Amino acid sequence: MNYRGAILDVDGTVVRGDEPIAGAGDGLSAIESAGLGRVFVSNNPTKRPTAYEERFARAGFEVDETEVVTAGTVTARYFAEERPDAAVYVVGEGGLVEILDEAGVSVVEDADDADVYLVSIDRSFDYDTLCDALDILADDGVAFVGTDPDMVIPGAERDVPGSGAVINAVAGVSEREPDAVLGKPSETARTMALERLGTDPEETVVVGDRLDTDIALGERFGMTTVLVRTGITDEETLSRSSIEPDYVLDSLGDIGRVLDGSAN
């Protein structure tokens, strides 16, 4: 296979917190040596690409902000293209609101003024918020959108709930499924990643630690998929999943075997 580009997950694949994952440096070097372009795609909706540039630097990796796509930038792109005139109420954190503001998305402070109810990771999420969601989403004219589906995020000290947990809570109480969930493996995320790489899907390899986001992204859009064992997916989850990666590696450090065709 003649690969020209790599889509790389961040947390659980390259870093955990601000620390490099064992083998990640070797993997990035192998990708560079093979002449592939790269883009890092994170389902974190609260951080700008510049924050990732700084975070990678703390881990010892040189990454430019133009090589980073996040669930926040994917969400901003979605509103620009699909709902450019939307008034958006955000259940989420300040970083997400700033990303949307900078992209020209109309964010409203009063949910009664919104025609989109956007739900994301929110560490101040509480019972009152659920009560509000129940009321607001009773109106079918208000769209329900989530930033990303990640149920659990690999943290530096322990795994923590992600946007998916908050979205599911809102979906449960409102008895409504989201109209759209962004981040990986959405079509908007695919479009942004491939635009950055300038590659077609069949020329692209996707590497990550999650079946339902990273591997699903590649599987859904015809890319080669590589699961690494350094993050959230254990052997039991892999054996039970209907999503099957093309390759399973101990770490990103083994990616050279996929690129040179020696991996089984």
pLDDT tens string 139-179: 999 999 999 999 988 777 788 899 999 999 999 999 999 99
Q: What is the mean pLDDT of residues 100-106?
A: 96
Percent with pLDDT over 70 in the chain:
100
What pLDDT is stored for residue 157 in this prediction?
77
Mapped onto helix, strand or coil, the DSSP state of residue 212 is helix
Q: What is the mean pLDDT of residues 23-39?
A: 97
Band (pLDDT 50/70/90 cuts) for residue 39 is very high
Tokens 């293209």 map to which residue? Answer: 81
What pLDDT is stored for residue 176 in this prediction?
96
What pLDDT is stored for residue 60 in this prediction?
97
Domain 84-181 is found in CATH 3.40.50.1000: yes
What pLDDT is stored for residue 263 in this prediction?
82
Q: What is the pLDDT of residues 60-78, one digit of tens each?
A: 999 999 999 999 999 999 9
The residues with which 69 forms a beta bridge, in sequence order, are: 41
Domains 5-43+184-260 and 84-181 share a fold: yes
What pLDDT is stored for residue 259 in this prediction?
95
Report the distance separating Cα 67 and Cα 50, nearest Å: 10
pLDDT of 1 above 80: no
Q: Which long-range contacts (CB under 8 A, 24 or more apart) does 226-232 make?
A: 226/255, 226/258, 228/12, 228/13, 228/252, 230/12, 230/13, 230/16, 230/21, 230/22, 230/23, 231/9, 231/11, 231/12, 231/13, 231/154, 232/12, 232/152, 232/154, 232/159
Residue 42 CB partners (closer than 8 Å, separation 6+): 9, 10, 11, 52, 68, 69, 70, 71
What pLDDT is stored for residue 159 in this prediction?
82
Q: What is the mean pLDDT of residues 31-50?
A: 96
Domain limits, the chain: 5-43+184-260, 84-181
pLDDT of 264 above 80: no
pLDDT of 5 above 80: yes
Q: What is the mean pLDDT of residues 236-241?
A: 93
Q: What is the H or E stretch that residue 135 is in?
A: helix 127-136
Percent with pLDDT over 90 in the chain:
93
**In CATH, which of 3.40.50.300, 3.40.50.1000, 3.20.20.70, 3.40.228.10 is domain 5-43+184-260?**
3.40.50.1000
Q: What is the pLDDT of residues 185-215, one digit of tens each?
A: 999 999 999 999 999 999 999 999 999 999 9
Q: What is the mean pLDDT of residues 211-220?
A: 97
- CB contact at 8 A, 232 and 210: yes
